[in-house]
Amino acid sequence: MENRILVTGGAGFIGHHFILQLLKKTNWHITSLDRLDVSGNLNRLSEVLNQFPNSYRRRLKIVFHDLKAEINKIISKNLGNFDYIVHMAASSHVDRSISDPLSFVYDNVVGTCNILNFAKNQKKLKKFVYFSTDEVFGPAPKKVKYKEMDRYNSTNPYSASKAGGEELAVAYANTYKMPVVITHTMNVFGERQHPEKFIPLCIRKILNNQIIDVHSDSKKKKPGSRYYIHAEDVANGCLFILVNNFEKKFPSDFGGAKIIKFNLVGPSEKSNLDVVKNIARVLKKKPKFRLVDFHSSRPGHDLRYALDGSLLKKLGWYPRLTFEKRIEQVVNWTVSNKNWFKI
């Protein structure tokens, strides 16, 4: 009998890339749970399904629900039982979290509690994956890359709310013996990303000969940096975690349940200015940019994030394509798909 998987936020940017890989690489039956807000867009899933024969469409079911509310008996019956649950639904914009912190607590903490309550009553659940972020660790000093079990240091309400959801997942593993896995990933980019994000924003501004503000230090000399990762790599990494059983490789934490955490990390560290120049190279244009002291003028934004991806690499997973190859792929797709990106 085929596995059944529930993906929260399946119509979101990362969620729809994950569903695409599930359709390509498994025969599983997929349910997407989504409320379709700022980031959710069913057109993403429509384009994904159009890549497959009609028989594949029957493998995907979409259920509408806002996780700020509990999953009641009617919705629970509609959803059914699952072998896997991947909780990707979240509010994720730092600026909005700074102006409206409570909404992020509702979405990322209360919402996580509600899906965990649903999951703990599943009879055959093999894994519950909580999709967290590098930002729970806070800014990374030079040469430091945070490992999975390092301490938290949230610097904005968004990262604090994700850390709160993460701790709830740990608590449910310890209290209810749920099979919880936690992932941290970094700045994700790819096809069908919201145009407010840095890479699609850069593509638009370079094409329109506009000036790009590049996040830098207070002296306006050193740009911020990230381990940018393509959404397809994130999706493949998440699937790798689902289909492999690593429990025996990890000791129990603090004498309780086994809390397994993985960092999903891009192939190499790139400064924000590197990103701009790589996009301009693909577009064959000269970019206009200025280094701006976001670190001081935008509280809650950090100059550098860095994760250590060695654990998953030892187990056999890492991004196979370079950042340069991935950015070329995304830029060319974006220019050819103006319905997703108004130029």
The residues pairing with 213 across neighbouring beta strands, listed in sequence order, are: 290
107, 134, 233, 274: the catalytic one is 134
- CA distances 287 to 216, 273, 277, Å, are 17, 10, 7
135, 150, 166, 308: the catalytic one is 135
158, 172, 228, 305: the catalytic one is 158
Is 158 marked active-site?
A: yes
Is 305 marked active-site?
A: no
**Contacting residues for 237 by C-beta, under 8 A, at least 6 apart:** 183, 185, 262, 264, 312, 317
Is 135 marked active-site?
A: yes
Active-site residue list: 134-135, 158
